[in-house]
Each structure stands twice: as structure tokens, then as C-alpha cells.
Amino acid sequence: MPTNLLKRAVKMNIQIIDESSVATLLNPANCFEAVRNVFVSMESAARNFPVIRENLGYEEAIYGFKSGFDPLSGALGLKSGGYWPNNAKHGLASHQSTIFMFNPDTGQCRAALSANLITALRTAAAAAVSIDVLARQNSATLGLVGTGHQSKFQLEAALRTRTFERVLVWNRSGRDIQAHKELAALYKAELVETDLRTLACESDTLITITSSFAALIESDWISAGTHLACMGTDTKGKQEIDPRISQRALRFTDEVTQSMSIGEFQHLTGDASITSLGAVISGKASGRESDRDITVFDGTGVGLQDLACAQIVLNELDQMNSRVEHSN
């Protein structure tokens, strides 16, 4: 940033927080708690504002905005960014985003945070919360559909949440997944690459994290008792599972209206009953009712989750600065 602009940002008291700073302050544990709390706060006063999500018509990119306000935590802000599928040629991750946080009392911008890691951690945390709330207690095999940038975060969050003996991975792109295997080993789980049908038939819990625009998982592959966390569908036309799975299942999501417009449940017809996960966590609605229920969580990604994690970073920074001031 040019010096004169940096001075101006400092004068306005805007904190500029890069990716490495976020990495020192945010982790799967505090992110899980933040996202779980957001599910609950969305059942009361917190609001997600309408999502803007558009094809740029340039570099095959999808770009948009997510924003919201949680009066309980004071988190007010927006995330700007999206998906650039050709970023590998630039040596960059496909998902790129920035979060801007504002003072709810004055409207002034408080901070600009690099949000790539925040997005990855909060997406994984949302799937993990759904597993914690909806998956069978005796789930032993985890299926992971997709091996892109987000998949390792999903794997770690799931393994932290439940004790899985085996992880089945579908690696369509043929990526090197040695890091996935090492991570699974840390949690004493065996990780095996396999085909989609085998993965879906043998997994008790599935996480789908792809950018697919066509169903990958067929209905007759899914057995009674399976939990599916569908995390990749966040745009009109995207789809990861056969809609007949959702028709057979108990359906849950982060935000019902968003799920029906840009999430996995956009592919359902008629008046489908969909329950917010926050209602289950807060005791307003029931979740899994038996070990034979199929449960589907449609994780479309809501702005309040990003803002809650950004708020953790700001709070941690405030505490660090306070400790420094007291030591001086």
C-alpha cells in the first residue's frame, strides 16, 4: 500500500490484517465455537442480508458479497470475493476474499481482513457442527468428496468432531493427498482413495466439497442412517447430490431462504420442509430422530459465520494490545 494511503488508513484507525496474522489467531477450535454460536444467534436477533453472487464473464470467475449484523456480538460487516478457477496459473488459491468490519455504533470501518483462511475454517466448522448435531453417534467411516483447497480443512474439522476409524476419499483430479493421509493418521484413522459409488455406499457420514454443476452422488448409493454435509453448492445451478436423496432425508441448512435459492435445496420441487440447524441446536426443532434417518445439511455459507470468525481475530488482537500496554 502506498505510504500516503497507509497513513490515511492509520489515521482512520482501520486495522489491516493479513493472512499470516489471521492464522496465528484463528484455529479450528475457536472457529467451531464461533460458528456454532452463530447458528443459535440466527434464531434470534442476528440477520444475514441478501447475497449478491454473479458470474463476472471474465476468467470464469464468480464474484459476490455476503454481509450481516449480529447485535449479540456486535459483528457488523461484509465479505467481498469469490471463486477464480484459473488461479493456479498465478500460484494462488481459487477462492479469494476480504472481510470489512464496521463499528455498529458509528458505521465507521474498523478493519480489513484477508479472508481466505477465515472462509476455509468457517466452512469446515459449519460442516463439523452439522456432524456433531446430526450424524449418528456410532459413525465409523467418513467419506470426503473432493480434494481441492477446502478439503483438508473439512477433513480436520470432521476428525476433531467425531472419532472416525476410516476415511474414504474421491480424488477425481488425481491430486497429491499425502497431507490428507498424514492428517488422518494423526487422528488414528485410515485414509483410502476410492471411487464415488464405493465411497457413498460405505460411508456413515459424507462431506461433499466440490464446484459441481451436476449431481455426483446417486440416491440408491445412500443407506439409511447416513448424514451428508453438502458444502459446495452456493450458486444458482450448482449441484452435488441427486435431489431424490434430499427428498428421502430430513433436511437442514444454515439459512433456509438462501438454501432454496442458491444451495443444494434449490433443486427440490414443491413445498419441501427445511429446518435451520440453529433451531435444532437451540432446542426449537428436532434433528435426527432415529439411527435410520438420512440427514442432509446444506451448507450454503452465510456472512454471519465469516463475521463471527473475523470478530474473534479482532478480539484476540485487542487482548494482545491490552497485554502489551499493561506490560509497558
Q: What is the pLDDT of residues 131-141, one digit of tens each?
A: 999 999 999 99
Q: What is the pLDDT of residues 105-116, one digit of tens each?
A: 999 999 999 999
Is residue 187 domain-shared with residue 49, that is, in the same domain?
A: no
What CATH number should be reported for the domain holding residue 83? 3.30.1780.10
79 is catalytic: yes
| Residue closest to 101 by CA, chosen among 257, 324, 317, 322 | 317
Is residue 134 domain-shared with residue 243, that is, in the same domain?
A: yes
pLDDT of the residue at 18:
96
pLDDT of the residue at 103:
95
What CATH number should be reported for the domain holding residue 290? 3.40.50.720
pLDDT of the residue at 295:
98
Q: What is the pLDDT of residues 207-226, one digit of tens each?
A: 999 989 999 999 999 999 99
Indicate which residue of 66, 79, 152, 238 is catalytic.
79
Q: With 0-12 CB in 10 A as exposed, 13-18 as middle and 19+ as buried, what is 42? A: buried
Could you tell me if 304 and 70 are in contact, meaning their C-beta atoms sit under 8 angstroms apart? yes
Is residue 170 domain-shared with residue 259, that is, in the same domain?
A: yes
Is residue 211 domain-shared with residue 255, that is, in the same domain?
A: yes
pLDDT of the residue at 12:
62
Is residue 7 domain-shared with residue 139, that is, in the same domain?
A: no
The range of the structural domain enclosing residue 21 comes to: 3-118+307-327
Is residue 74 domain-shared with residue 144, that is, in the same domain?
A: no
Question: Number of structural domains, the chain?
Answer: 2
| Residue closest to 127 by CA, chosen among 258, 289, 313, 252 | 252
Q: DSSP characters for 48-108?
A: EPPPEEEE-SSTT-EEEEEEEEETTTTEEEEEEEEE-TTGGGGT--SEEEEEEEE-TTT--
Is residue 154 domain-shared with residue 83, that is, in the same domain?
A: no
Instruction: Pick out the chain residues at pLDDT < 50.
Output: 1, 5-7
Identity of residue 191: L
Could you tell me if 225 and 292 are in contact, meaning their C-beta atoms sit under 8 angstroms apart? yes
Is residue 50 domain-shared with residue 93, that is, in the same domain?
A: yes
Is residue 297 domain-shared with residue 313, that is, in the same domain?
A: no
pLDDT of the residue at 324:
72
| Residue closest to 98 by CA, chosen among 17, 33, 152, 155 | 17
Is residue 109 domain-shared with residue 230, that is, in the same domain?
A: no
Is residue 65 domain-shared with residue 130, that is, in the same domain?
A: no
Is residue 265 domain-shared with residue 181, that is, in the same domain?
A: yes
